[in-house]
Structure 1
Amino acid sequence: MAKPADPSSVANADVFEPTHYHCDFDIVFEEKRVSGTERLTVKKRVEHEANELVLDSHDIDVKQILVDDDGIPLKFDIRPFTKYGSALHISLPESLRRRDELTLVITFVAGSGNAFDWLKKEQTAGKKLPYLYTQGQSVLNRTFFPCFDSPAVKSTWSATVKIAAEFNVVMSASHWTPSVKLPDGRLEYRFDMKISVPVYLVALAAGDIVSAPIGPRSRVWTEPCMLDKAQNEFDGVTEEYIKTGERLFGPYVWDRYDLLVMPPSFPYGGMENPCLTFVTPTLLVGDRSLTDVVMHEISHSWFGNLVTNGSWSEFYLNEGFTMYAQRRICTELLGKDYTCLEAATGIALLKRDLEHLEPNLTRLRVILSPDVDPDDTYCETPYEKGFCFVSYLRSLTDSDETFDAFLRAYVQKFQYKSVLSDDLFKFFFEYFPHLKGVESTEGFEFSRWLDTPGSPPYYPDLSAGESLTKPAEKLAAYWLGKLPEEEKPDVGALEKWPTYQKLHFLDQLLVEVSVPAQTLATLATTYPFISGTHNAEIRLRWSQITIKGNYTDDFFNVKAFLLSQGKQKYTIPIYRELVNGSAEAKKLALEAYEETKNLIHAQVRERIERLLDDMKK
């Protein structure tokens, strides 16, 4: 099994393991402050004496640490570790060094770290109340509360939250207790997560939040002004996705599956916080065409949340398996042809990413050190190259159903645990002993998959989707002037195509060095439903195409898209094109950033600033 050693964490998880966190949080919006009292119970892993407990902590003001049962104060100090973390060293007196288990009470004040996104009411959809949400992945929850901030370490947790009565609070917990009114008029909420999880999956949101049912074990939460739209988008399909996942991968163990539609600044398409997935409002397009994001986040219920990568260096164990699981669910519900079409758009994203990523980030097993912030390694590699690797493993077996059975057994074997690639490979050959030796097949060595930078050695066969991909490719060839007039396709057919077929068409334009601005002007006139769409996936690609072609007449649309949302997957590629584009594009990059820098998440802001700094050199 995965060892707790983690270059991104300074906690001494080789000596202690947490068994439960309980935190009492008090949220004060006016001061952007979260006061906390944490009761941390740990068990000793070693037989010898332990002189100190070391926790991950960053941008937290630790006030006091006591021994829970007798109130003895403990000495502590905070030491440097990395730019994204500090080490909280807690000295243990001789009377505690031989204890197998102890509970500490840590009093602290937080709220300024990168786990927190405090939004003014003007930054919300309803503009009624300010809003707070936390984001833990990858290593941000060390700014939320002192902890073992490593995916290799799992524990149960519980929390109470005190807050002013006008706010509602939700958390990523399996059990929620109705709020109670306190003597001072505020409300107190109680949450319990009874399943062990790594701390990056602890999440909180507070604001003007209401909910509606979308299935027998699911609700959607959002601001009131978006509730009807969100309910219509997700009602029914959520349970359909869960049931299909259960049939393929085993029982859904988390009791509830709720969705929280976030404010526009949320940096991800979705964050798989257990029992309460956070999703971007860009999914609310009215036709359910982007609900595959929910399919993806539900798939994390087995791959990522239940079986977790033991190190951020092997993030593909979360995301590559989840991409494969998502596409298995998609195949079962929407057919092989549509799934292959969707997968083709993912592979296209990977190929574009590989053009500019540094070599280390194109490995499945990224080289990490304390100097490398895991959040800086975010890219398509663990998702799509990881999907290619899992698809390769599937190709070694005789059918989808055989590999489904393996995945069920894999989940059963490693549920509630964290794993490394060695654990996966060992179990793979235990399950398929007749395949022993394929790990050394020339050109497809498992070590090459994990450690060699660049393109995957294998791409899955997507030919089943050609009835959808070929027309899109032919139409793109026509617009690029690569078809004779007598082979002209039906130019108007595009309007009736499903979203992913439109995306595949745009992907063919995007691989060109540039499409002439005059051609883009004609495209915009011919296809106003492309240039004027509210669908974020289409807007991303159209924005990239217009920047590369320097179609300045549409730059106002690019800017509007950047102002409307803060999703990392959309924002970073657009800025990358802008800073490498014309003088007008570079100017737009500076203008857009100046207008959005206080609205977007800190993670995204830091990445944009690096791109702008490189542009100015």
Structure 2
Amino acid sequence: MIFRFFAAMALAGTLSACSGSVAGDKAEAQPKVAPVLTTPEAKDVHSYARPTEARVTHVSLDLAADFTAHVLRGTAKLDIQAAKGAQEIVLDTNDLKIASVTDGRGQALPWKLGDADRVHGAPLTVGLDGTNQVEITYATSPDAPALQWLSPEQTAGKKYPYLFSQGEPILNRSWIPTQDSPGVRQTWDATITVPEPLTAVMSAEMTTPGGKQMTGERRAFHFVMDKPVAPYLIALAIGDLKFKATGPRTGIWTEPAMLDKAAYEFADLEKFVDAAEDLYGPYRWGRYDLLVLPPSFPFGGMENPRLTFATPTAIAGDRSLVSLVAHELAHSWSGNLVTNATWNDFWLNEGFTSYFENRIMEKLYGKRRAAMEADLAWTDMMNAVKKEGGPTSPMTRLHLDIPASEDPDDGMTSIAYDKGATFLRTIEQAVGRKRFDAYLRGYFDRYAFQPQTTAGFLKDIRSHLFKDDPALAKKIGLDQWAYRPGIPKNAVHVKSDAFPAMDMAAKEYAAGGLVSSVPGDVSTQERVRFLDQLPRKLSEERLAKLDDRFHFSNSGNSEIRFAWLMLALDNRYPPAADSAEEFLTSQGRRKFVAPLFRVMMNEGDWGQALARRIYAEARPGYHSVTSGTVDQIVGWTPPES
């Protein structure tokens, strides 16, 4: 085995196990304490933690939400496992206001908050004095980067405030003092107190449906996660939330004004879970629910266990963008079950998941739909290679080497998603789908609830899939795919049979063809392909004819609207300015926001003035994940007070 149990030289024995149950499956053992990896490539330079000396195994939160001060206040009680002779434990924090640190009996413990840096926050070092439990009383900062506090006006209902968290990659240390490293898996529970009539939901089992009534018009919600997870997967949302079931173990949480629309769009949640299980084994998390958030949520989705957080921009009204659900559900195996040990191996989460997503889409919607989405992803991959500096750029490798001085979020590009999926698809074609599926199912079983590295994956696939055929492994070039930049020549490109017609239509229209000749009744994927294939030099008249016929500037389909605005802004099409302003001030999904601001900033005085004017209006409504990226694009500086 390439990994060892935590501090094996000091902590004898094997992992304890407890019984857990999965809906529809017999009980299986779950580790109380997940192993950490001690191989050199598993060292996490983006955490202050020293888990081989002392590590957190369980987090118990008791927090109250203050919507006036925009802070969470309360305690975090940490269960500690320490090596023999360990005198202290080091935790990750980011701008937390620490009031006290005690042991499990309430006795004060020595502690020190170190110097903070812009990437990691500050280390909190606690003297253990022989204890195996540490309780920290603290409050978050109003500007905690993981938390976004929304006013009623920023919600669908316009009546109540809202709070949500986003922890990946290293933001959760701004509201939870723990070892914030994906390789240090922890079980957890939480009690969250909120004002009436708000509801709290978390990425765990809710054991108090409806909440427990407290004094002062407040109620408390309790949650339990009995499976060890990476700390970035602890997630919280508080708002005017209602639930609607879509199946025996699936359903939708969202604001009442959004509930029916969201439940219609994602009505097939149960079918998604069934399809995923057919491919790679039992779903081990109990329920799979979806929380549709306000539009400022910075990602398409976040794979928080049991409760995927999702953007409302995936609601197109025709279920054409539900591949987002396939992606986040697939993370229940790749990412949540088997997790990258450090952010240098982010592709182990996202590349596996993107491959798995496409397999789910094929199973549910057929090969033609899956091929279109895979072909679009290929184009995205090739564009990403150019954006990252070309095929020799180290940023086009799967395994990265992100310096400690840099934010790991900077390495989370589409290379991890699309090159990673292409790598696995190339292996699939070489060995055959049946063999590859059997391997992946075994891989998820072997490393369930454990961290993994690229080196560990490559050792495992050589030992299991290529044990009897090392020559084939060499021919595929596993190390080249994982460690070298660019896209290898043997990469499998899935080509859609629907796209040649759209490519021809784009070519003919660009050459002066009639707008009436552009196909009208096509899928979202075909329409996006058409827009992407049009040249970045089209006359205002040509663009206006397209917009008059298809109403792209007002499209309610976010993918089509985005593709149109990328084309129109790159052509300096004046009428696109109003559409861009409306789109960029009504949602904060970084996938859409960052490229649109980037293209405006590349369009000289016209585009730069437009970008800065829109950003000044939009920025207050963006989560820190989005604003942190766009600040650099537009050169934003805070106004003088």
Report what 1:226 is aligned to. 258
Q: Is the 8 A contact 1:449 1:457 kept in 2?
A: no
Alpha-carbon distance in structure 1 between the residues aligned to 2:44 and 2:489: 28
* Residue 186 in structure 1 maps to residue 218 in structure 2: yes
2:125 equivalent to 1:89 = yes
Alpha-carbon distance between aligned partners in 1 of 2:116 and 2:452, rounded to the nearest angstrom:
25
Aligned to 2:521: 496
- Equivalent position of 2:29 in the other structure: none
Change (3 A) 1:490 1:329: farther
Change in Cα spacing, 1:345 to 1:174, as seen in structure 2 (3 Å) is same
Deviation at 1:82, TM superposition (A): 3.2
Matched, 1:31 2:69: yes
What letter matches 1:550 in structure 2?
R
- Normalised by the length of structure 2, the TM-score is 0.89
User: Which of the numbers 390, 405, 426 marks the counterpart of 2:459?
Assistant: 426
Partner of 2:559: 537
Q: What is aligned with 2:546?
A: 523
State the Cα deviation string for residues 414-462 of structure 1 (Å, max 9, x = none). Answer: 0100100121112112222123244543xx5333222323335443242
Instruction: Identify the match of residue 508 of structure 1 among 524, 533, 536.
Output: 533
Which range moves more in the overlay, 271-280 or 549-558? 549-558
Secondary structure of 1:243's counterpart equals helix
Residues 557 and 402 of structure 1: is their aligned pair in 2 closer, same or farther, counting only changes over 3 Å?
A: same
Identical counterparts, % of pairs: 33
Tell me whether 1:286 sits opposite 2:286 in the alignment. Answer: no
Counterpart residue type for residue 519 of structure 1:
R
The equivalent residue for 1:304 is 335
Q: Distance in 1 between matches of 2:562 and 2:239?
A: 29
Q: Is the 8 A contact 1:348 1:507 kept in 2?
A: no
Q: Deviations over 1:178-199 (max 9, x none)?
A: 2111133310110001111011
Q: What is the distance in 2 between the residues matched to 1:521 and 1:547? A: 13
Distance 1:526 1:478 in 2: 17
Distance 2:611 2:223 in 1: 42
Measured in 2, the distance between the counterparts of 1:605 and 1:310 equals 27
Asked whether 1:608 is paired with 2:640, we answer no
CA separation in 1, counterparts of 2:439 and 2:593?
Answer: 37
Alignment partner, residue 156 of structure 2: 125
Q: CA deviation at 1:175?
A: 4.0
Which residue pairs with 2:86 in the alignment? 50
d(CA) in 1 for partners of 2:276 and 2:577?
Answer: 42
Matches within 5 A, 1:227-242: 227-235=259-267, 237-242=268-273
Q: Are positions 1:390 and 2:424 aligned together?
A: yes
CA distance in 1, matches of 2:491, 2:90: 44
CA distance in 1, matches of 2:419, 2:461: 19
Amino acid at match of 2:139: V
Residue 22 in 1 paired to residue 60 in 2? yes
Give 3-state SS (helix, strand or coil) of 1:54's partner.
Answer: strand
Cα shift at 1:276: 0.6
Cα pair distance change 1:587/1:456, threshold 3 Å: farther
Instruction: Give the Å deviation of 1:346.
Output: 1.4
Mapped contact 1:76–1:89 kept (Cα < 8 A): yes
- Pairing partner for 1:13 from 45, 48, 51: 51
Q: Does 1:78 align with 2:113?
A: yes
Cα distance in 2 for partners of 1:167, 1:566 equals 23
CA-CA distance at 1:263 after TM superposition:
0.6
Distance of 2:417 and 2:118 partners within structure 1: 26
Distance in 2 between residues matched to 1:448 and 1:439, nearest whole Å: 11
1:172 aligns with 2:208: no
In the alignment, is residue 365 of structure 1 matched against residue 399 of structure 2?
Answer: yes
Alignment partner of 1:146 is 2:182 = no
Report Cα offsets for 1:43-81 as digits up to 9, x if no partner.
12x33x11211000111011111110x322111111125
Structure 1 residue runs without a partner (length 5+): none
Aligned residue number for residue 276 of structure 2: 245
Output the TM-score relative to the length of structure 1.
0.93
Q: State the Cα distance separating 1:490 from its structure 2 match.
A: 7.3
Structure 1 position 556, deviation (Å): 1.0
1:455 maps to 487
Q: Name the amino acid aligned to 1:449.
A: W
Match of 2:33 in 1: none
Any idea what SS the aligned residue of 2:297 has?
Answer: coil
Change (3 A) 1:480 1:458: farther
Distance (whole Å) between structure 2 residues aligned to residue 134 and residue 211 of structure 1: 19
Q: Distance in 2 between matches of 1:176 and 1:267?
A: 29
Consecutive aligned runs of 4 or more in structure 1 exceeding 4 Å deviation: none
Residue of 578, 598, 601 corresponding to 1:576: 598
Aligned partners of 2:313 and 2:52: how far apart in 1? 42
Q: For 1:292-343, what per-residue CA distance to the aligned partner results, in whole angstroms no more than 9, with x for missing partners?
A: 1011101111110001111111111000000000111111122222211111
Please list the CA deviations of residues 334-382 of structure 1 after superposition, one character each: whole Å capped at 9, or x if unmatched.
2222211111111222222222225333221121122111112222111
Aligned match for 2:510, one of 452, 458, 480: 480
Residue 313 in structure 1 maps to residue 344 in structure 2:
yes
Unmatched runs of 5 consecutive residues or more in structure 2? 4-36
- Rounded Cα–Cα distance in structure 1 between residues aligned with 2:387 and 2:636: 14
Q: Specify the alignment match of 2:32 in structure 1.
A: none
Judge which range, 332-341 or 59-68, deviates more: 332-341
Question: Partner of 1:328 in structure 2?
Answer: 359
Deviation of 1:29 after TM superposition, in Å, equals 0.5
CA apart distance, 1:176: 3.1
Q: What are the Cα deviations for residues 278-300 of structure 1, in whole angstroms up to 9, with x where unaligned?
A: 10011121111111101110111
Q: 1:53 to 1:583 in 2, by over 3 A?
A: same
Contact 2:351 2:418 in 1 (8 A): yes
**Amino acid paired to 2:494:** L
Tell me the number of residue pairs that the alignment of Structure 1 and Structure 2 aligns.
Answer: 592
CA-atom RMSD in angstroms: 1.8
Mapped to 2, the partners of 1:516 and 1:353 lie a distance apart of 27
Q: Secondary structure at the match of 1:460?
A: coil
**Residues 39 and 106, structure 1, Cα contact 8 Å, conserved in 2:** yes
Structure 1 residues 383 and 456: alpha-carbon distance in aligned structure 2, compared to 1, 3 A threshold: farther
